[in-house]
Amino acid sequence: MTLEPGSLGARADAAKRYANLIGGRPTPAGRHLPVANPATGEIVGHMPIGTADDLDAAVAAARAAFPAWSATPSETRKQACLAIAAALKDHAEELAHLLTLEQGKPLNGLGSRWEIGGAQAWTAATAALDIPVKVLQDDNQGRVELHRKAIGVVGSITPWNFPVLIACWHIVPAVRAGNTVVIKPSPHTPLATIRLVELINAVLPPGVVNIVAGDDALGAAMSAHPGIDKMVFTGSSATGRKIMGAAAQTLKRLTLELGGNDAGIVLPDVDPKQIAEGLFWGAFVNNGQTCAALKRLYVHDSIYDAVCAELVRVAATVSVGNGLDESSALGPIQNAMQFNRVRELVEDAKARGGRVLIGGTPPEGAPGHFYPVTLVADVDHGIRLVDEEQFGPALPIIRYSDVEAVIAKANDNANGLGGSIWSADTAKARALALRLDCGIAWVNKHGAIQPNAPFGGVKQSGIGVEFGEEGLFENTTIQTVIS
């Protein structure tokens, strides 16, 4: 069924005032702010504005719950995480609908239903992981064991692009390892995360997972809070630096997944028709609002025009509209600040000689933060659209002729999250991928992630990794026992 904007089925409870959850109980806030649908501007609910006292109460609840939860047998924690995955499945359509209303992404395709399905899959995969004792030595001279123990209270700050999926990336490994959590969602997209934590609290003991929504000042207070033992953050490098600085006062452990300006390099041996779909969705998944999206595309001179033409062909078939419309493939940019940033970067590129192949001009007077799929050719380093992370539906396409020079250009950026090589020769592509300064590299694809493959950046794209055994271990401390 298609839900049209303004129809009975499409409406959220605009008057609903959501509550924080502290110690297993809803905690009403003294102040709320409206949350708007970025496609229409309509209010979909009111978020609670947590205070410093709320944060203190949440940290106290998490600390009180930690001794019992960390002592809970590993198998019991595993079953609890599997129960969370089951709750995600049971409430998938509810969560997806709420997510589309506040975030804007379509229900279909790589949108809200996909995100909730991914959250369920990652939760189940993380539940299946174990933290065994590692025996380093066992001989007549003695026994040496390496134990991994829960850290304590983990503070989580999540972004607005994948608010449910990333919340599960933060919460589930932490509780699987025996930690307790205080999470603060983005003020742009707090509602689905609050509902997620309500479902989690129906499974876990009180205080194991707490949520306090609020403004940016609350996040700063979390990073400096002496009762929080580790911070995990997904978002911009600029904010990551602030978190790192605040956390230094208490020497908190950190996992930071920060900004990316991922390069994709197309070698001259490819068939442009065969790779065009992969290139397009590598760049425009979630409307380009993805840390590890393809954000700089380098194409060999011999096939440059052909690749540009194929990308325009694909882009012309992609429908952009309200996420509640089942036919929409892409939705709006989530918020006005990001919309204005994308527009500013594209206008700068146009003013400096960039050739717009498609898009480039947002509709005037229309409701919502809709920006068209935009491809900009004939640009190079020194233009903001190339040098900076756009985090939206605009892709610069850069011409090159020398492979060695383009590898150097791809690495000439402060970020180092992901990168990709596109070639008919996969062995050659893998060898070149290893030369990219990034935490994850793909061959003939971009942005594909999976729960058993560690994910994280180098340079200013972050510290630490998520996913798999390595990501789970980031939620532990090491204790060596020698006997």
**Which CATH number characterizes residue 229's domain?**
3.40.605.10
In this structure, are 236 and 156 located in the same domain?
yes
Whether residue 3 is contained in a domain is answered as no
Write down the pLDDT at residue 476. 98
Which domain range does residue 35 map to? 8-258+461-482
Task: Report, as residue numbers or ranges, the catalytic residues.
Answer: 257, 291
Q: What is the pLDDT of residue 60?
A: 99
Q: What's the mean pLDDT when you consider all of the chain?
A: 96
Residue 353, φ and ψ in degrees, nearest 5 = 100, 0
Which is it for strands 355-358 and 142-150: parallel, antiparallel or unpaired?
unpaired
Inside any domain, residue 1? no
SS3 158: coil
Number of structural domains found in the chain: 2
Q: So what's the pLDDT on residue 13?
A: 77
Question: 328 with 241, same domain?
Answer: no
Q: Domain check: are 443 and 320 in the same one? A: yes
Residue 362 pLDDT more than 60? yes
Per-residue model confidence as pLDDT tens digits over 99-111: 999 999 999 999 9
- Say yes or no: 242 and 373 in one domain: no
Q: Are residues 443 and 466 in the same domain?
A: no
pLDDT at residue 7 in the model: 34
Which pLDDT belongs to residue 5?
31
Residue 8, pLDDT > 60, answer no
The tens digit of pLDDT for each residue in 404-450 reads 999 999 999 999 999 999 999 999 999 999 999 999 999 999 999 99
List, for residues 251-309, the tens digit of each pLDDT value. Answer: 999 999 999 999 999 999 999 999 999 999 999 999 999 999 999 999 999 999 999 99
- Pair 28, 155 in one domain: yes
Please check whether residues 438 and 290 belong to one and the same domain: yes
**133 in the same domain as 269:** no
The yes-or-no verdict on residue 12 having pLDDT over 90 is no
- 270 and 228 share one domain: no
Q: What is the pTM of this model?
A: 0.96
| Of 327, 322, 239, 286, nearest in space to 449 by CA | 286
Question: Can you point out the beta strands (E) in 354-464?
Answer: 355-358, 374-377, 394-400, 415-416, 418-422, 440-443, 458-459, 462-463
CATH code where residue 336 lies:
3.40.309.10
- φ, ψ at 131 (rounded to 5°): -125, 80
